[in-house]
Chain A
Amino acid sequence: MRVVIAEDSVLLREGLTRLLVEAGHEVAAAEGDGEKFLRAVAAHVPDAVVVDVRMPPTFTDEGLRAALLVRDRWPDVGVLVLSQWVEERYATELISGRPHGVGYLLKDRVADVSEFLDALDRVATGGSALDPEVVAQLLARSRHPLGELTPREREVLALMAEGRSNSAIAEALVVGGGAVEKHINNIFTKLGLAPADRDHRRVLAVLRYLGT
């Protein structure tokens, strides 16, 4: 997969590049600010981009705005946003325009190399990846009652909102695929969500339920 990176810290930019190259990906460009990054995306049209939220010159949400631009202009490019801290509001902004092919993770997650690469894969192939902390914030401020769900069903719901597939959920919870499917059907029934077969539509349904 071809990737373009936007990260202003030299240390992390090089680290990320090496990490991706070691995993067999091609890093087409690694830039330190939003403008250069957008030019690189236009030049290379990669499979996915990895973007840091805070970048020069304003050091506020430059990166996020660049990511939103990429999301709108190049629908086929997967957008994975990394941030030093995660805010449910940023995630909602990112997801609301296009619920597939986007991800929003805490920067620390790159330490778990395989999970990070997994999330990037999902985003590049049109899935989604949401940080567990974002999901926790969404669950915490959900306007809808989740009281009817069993604790296990809540766990499954959280993993689903992160963008995991059934098999990934089964693996994370150390249960069989059939059990996960049963839980998911129960969740959909209890929350009144129409079941869907594609991953991202499922996430969208969950997020819509939690967020609005």
Chain B
Amino acid sequence: MFLVRDLVSPRTWLAMTSHLAGLFLGLAVMVVFITGLSLGFSLLVLALVGLPILGLTLRVADWFARAERARLRLMLGMPIPAWPAGIRAGYRWGVVPRWRTLGERATWGEIGYGLLRCPFSAVAATVSVSAWAAGLVMLTLPLYNSDLPSGGASFGQMVFRGTPTMAASAVIGLIVLLAAPQLTRGLAAADAALARWLLGPRRDLAARVAELEISRERVVDAAEAERRRIERDLHDGAQQRLVALAMELGRAKARFADDLDAAKDLVDQAHAQAKEALTELRNLVRGVHPPVLTERGLDAALSGLAALCPVPVEVHVDVPVRPKSSVEAVAYFVVAEALTNVAKHSRASHAKVVVEGHGYPGTLTVMISDDGIGGADGHGPGLSGLADRVSGVDGRLSVESPAGGPTIIAAELPCG
């Protein structure tokens, strides 16, 4: 029975309080704005006097907008999305509007909101209070109707009396009373919508911010996963080898005094360990960020990857101008991960890597195909991590891998 519960729910009464508060706040602000704007504009001829008044009015509008955001969040639980940081020009020394501020939609949205606040709240408060009052009066009318001066409630020439009329009044009163909380809240929602329209950021901007927030989160996660992978690789590979190497040398040291041949064998083993540790470190560094990529670009770095892959790989790179290093790195890792998958899972006999740059600003397309068995899982850890990385530079990754093959992984990376 939410209808009954809503009669006493805090949300309803916060909404009602909000309408009443908005009425008085809005009245004060409207007076300030109208005075400030009319005085400011009319004295603009005497620029020195008009400008500070206008500036101060805009500043007040901004403060009021902030207060309203807080009020709507606290009283109605409806947060108004803020303008993303750095979009608005703001104020010099905290009070004087910058020139750019004057041309911003947000600035005039705040003024408009301040002017609309009072009329809107007036309507909302009147309608809400009337609904409650009418509901209560009609519901209780049967109790005192006959005691009224004219022998019943009157409307113009009409006088209400008699049992059926009273029953109808009570029923209608009950319905109106039950509807009153919904009406009060509905008006509060409309209130919030008004604020979102005038105080909130532009819709496309808000959507873009939401998208960026998600992709930033994914990039942070991907970076974290990457760090864990590096830690694991170091721990399982080079570090173990170095410990083993140190141990062999330790044993050799203990042997030198009595058993020279055994000691020499141990030094030989240690030597081999040292070389393997170096190889592992080198491969690991290549996996973190290959130096050749920074120094010589994608073409050179991709040949290195192709050479490491046990499956024969054909590489075509046509990139007339080098893209940003972040884009290059993502392209490199797309190829690296794809070729790792080719080597591990595809059972392919041949793979092909094609990288093309289409003008600047434009896109860099990376495509890796193989003639293997297909069935690559685009949602597995490797490929989804790759998708995260690609989304970090606003790119798109597509994985086509029907069972039975072939597999085609393609990435489009904008390089503006």
Contact = CB atoms under 8 A, between A and B. Distances in A.
Interface of A: 9, 11-12, 15-16, 18-19, 22, 54, 59, 84, 107-108, 110-114, 116
Given A9-B236, A11-B241, A22 B246 contact: no
A108 B254 contact: no
B235 interface: yes
Given A9-B236, A54-B235, A59-B232, A107 B243 contact: yes
Contacts of A108: 243, 246
Contacts of B349: none
Nearest to A114: B254
Interface of A is mostly: helix
B247 interface: yes
Nearest to B235: A84
Nearest to B248: A15
B235 A111 contact: no
Given A54-B235, A59-B232, A84-B235, A110 B240 contact: no
Interface of B: 232, 235-236, 239-241, 243-244, 246-251, 253-254, 273
Given A12-B243, A111-B246, A111-B247, 9 more contacts: A11-B240, A11-B244, A11-B273, A12-B247, A15-B247, A110-B247, A111-B250, A112-B250, A114-B254
A111 B254 contact: no
Interface of B is mostly: helix
A11 B237 CA distance: 10
B251 A18 contact: yes
Nearest to A23: B254
Nearest to A111: B246
A108 B247 CA distance: 8
Contacts of A22: 251, 254
30 contacts: A9-B240, A9-B244, A11-B241, A11-B273, A12-B240, A12-B244, A12-B247, A15-B244, A15-B247, A15-B248, A18-B251, A19-B247, A19-B251, A22-B254, A59-B232, A84-B243, A107-B243, A108-B246, A110-B247, A111-B243, A111-B246, A111-B247, A111-B249, A111-B250, A112-B250, A113-B247, A113-B251, A113-B253, A113-B254, A114-B254
Nearest to B232: A59
A110 B253 contact: no
Contacts of B236: 9
B12 to A, nearest CB: 51
A30 B243 CA distance: 18
Contacts of A12: 240, 243-244, 247
Nearest to B246: A111
A10 to B, nearest CB: 9
B381 to A, nearest CB: 15
Contacts of A112: 250
A84 B250 contact: no
